[in-house]
Every structure is written in C-alpha cells, then in structure tokens.
A and B are shown apart, each in its own frame.
Chain A
Amino acid sequence: MNKTAKTLSINTLKRGLISGINVTWELAKIVVPISFIVTFLKHTPILNIISEVFAPLMSMFGLPGKAAIALVLGNFVNLYAAIGAIVSLSLSVREITILAIMLSFCHSLPVETALAKKIGLSAIKVIAVRCSLAIIAGLAFNLFL
C-alpha cells in the first residue's frame, strides 16, 4: 500500500459530513419511493396475496409472508431498497433483526456478484454460498432469538 502521509484537518470533517449526506441521499432516493409503493400495496389486496403466498416459506425464518418483499428487493436491487420495504411493513424488532442478518449475508446480487467475478470467483458459487449463509442464519436466528 502506498502509505502517503495523511493528516487530519477540517477537510476530514467536511469529507465525513459529505459522505454521510451522500449515504443518506442515496438511501432516501430509494427508501422514499419504495416506501410509497409498499404503503400503496398495503392498501390494496396485493400485499395480502403476496403475504399468503410466501407465508409458508417465510414462517421457517419466523417472518411474516410480506417480509419476502424486503428479501426480494434487497437481493435484486440493494440494501437500501430492502430498508425502504422494512420500514413500511411494520415489523417487530425480532423480525427486523432476522431480516437484517439474512440480508447482511446476501444482498445486491447483480452488482456484488459482478465484482466477485472480476476478481475471479465463479458467480454461481458466490451466489450459492451467500444464499446458503442467509438461509442458515435466518433459520438459526429464528430458533435461538
């Protein structure tokens, strides 16, 4: 690593503030529209249909069927999209923690798999490993939490 002499200055604070605002902005850009869509679905029969379809699968993780929306968004889009769904679905702390551990292991698959592939790993193996870790962690948290 090039160990260039780095110094702390007011620029450090400025950059921190800017990157904090950036993260918040990137997050808000996704959380607000997703939250709007999910809230909209809540007022239609669609959310109930999704809930019922996924209820048997999600119950293995101690999650309601509607939590599938957060898992799907988190994996196909990114964590911020999953956050947007989580905050609009009125879930309990336990349910949020289970979703969070599953999503931590497995999220943003299109972007992150491309990165891993660039380093030389097989895309299928990476996805298989991440999904397995998410499933095992979800089952374990449901069991012990």
Chain B
Amino acid sequence: MLTIILKEALLGSFSSIKNIIMIVIPIMIAMEILKDSGIFEKIADLFSPLVKIFGMKKESGFPLVIGILIGISYGAGVIFETAKQENLPERDLYLLTYFLVACHAIIEDTAIFTAIGANGALLLITRLFVASLFTFLASRIIKDKNKIKMSAEV
C-alpha cells in the first residue's frame, strides 16, 4: 500500500518536475540575459510612460514593469530604491503595489503553469488586462491626499 503510494507520488511529481525544468531553466537563463544586457531596463523605460493613464509619475513605471516581469520581492526592492531616489508620491506607491499584488512575476508563473498544462497565453493576457483595469479604477478612487499613514519608512 505505502509503496504504491510512494511510487505514484514520486513518478507523478518527477514527471512534472521534469516538465518544469525543461521550461524554467531556459526561461531563467533568458531572464538573466535580459537583465544583464539592460533589455529589462529598456522595456521598463519603454512602457513606464503608460502609467500616466493611472495618473502616476513616469518614474513610477520602472519599478512597476520590473515587478510585473520579475516578481514582487525583487519588485519591492526596486520600489523602495526608486521611491527614495525619485521621491515617488504616496499615491503612486499604493497604485503600483495594488497592480503588483494582482499581477507579478509573469515570466516565472506563466512558465510553471504552462509546464503543468495550463493555457499560458490566456493566463498572461487575463492577468495583465485585469490588473490594469483594476489599477485604473483604483486610480480614479485614490485621491492625491491620502489619509492612510505609511506604516513603514520607504
């Protein structure tokens, strides 16, 4: 009984992990190439003016695009750094964090979900579209003067 379970669990998870390796390793290598060649920065520079539709400063777009592509932990680091250097308004920080909690790490997540059988393109488009729509709505609600206090130094 136990050996059957063990065999089934190991075979099942190993074949999924094999599929994940085949997709994740090439993608992570491509991501490092994009990082080191400065292409991520170029992409971020290219798309960052789009945040103007949320009424955000152009500079806020950079951490947003990085967070969307790479991930929320890495993105948070860039947010703190950019916030310090560019003196980002509180409202921008809230909006870009709302966007990022809804949609981040699209490269890694899409790769993994595709590896286990999900429709990656559909996931990608839905996440970006819904997060943009939500942030747009939030941008109409959150006013410049925000009553919420910053709970931590940024």
Contact = CB atoms under 8 A, between A and B. Distances in A.
A115 B73 contact: yes
Interface in B79-128: 79, 81-82, 85, 90, 93-94, 97-98, 101-103, 108-109, 112-113, 116-119, 122-123, 126-127
A120 B33 contact: no
Contacts of B127: 101, 104-105
A105 B1 CA distance: 38
B93 A83 contact: no
B5 A43 contact: yes
Contacts of A43: 1, 4-5
Contact of A6 (B38, B78, B112): B38
B21 A40 contact: no
Interface in B15-63: 16-17, 20-21, 24-33, 35-38, 41, 62
Contact of A112 (B98, B101, B123, B130): B101
Contacts of A15: 32
A79 B104 CA distance: 13
A141 to B, nearest CB: 8
A12 B30 CA distance: 9
Given A1-B85, A17-B25, A27-B20, A100 B12 contact: no
B144 interface: no
A72 interface: no
A97 interface: yes
B8 A39 contact: yes
Contact of A32 (B13, B72, B117, B152): B13
What's the dominant secondary structure at chain A's contact region? helix
A126 B28 contact: no
A93 B117 contact: yes
Contacts of A86: 116
Contacts of B79: 119
Contact of B117 (A19, A23, A96): A96
Contact of B37 (A8, A120, A126, A141): A8
A137 B126 contact: yes
A23 B28 contact: yes
A113 B149 CA distance: 17
**Which of A23, A27, A100, A101 has most chain B Cβ within 10 Å?**
A100
B130 A24 contact: no
B4 to A, nearest CB: 8
A3 to B, nearest CB: 7
Given A1-B78, A19-B28, A87-B16, A118 B152 contact: yes
Interface of A: 1, 3, 6-9, 12-13, 15-17, 19-21, 23-24, 27-28, 31-32, 35-36, 38-40, 43, 79, 83-84, 86-88, 93, 96-97, 99-101, 104-105, 112, 115-122, 126, 129-130, 133, 137, 141
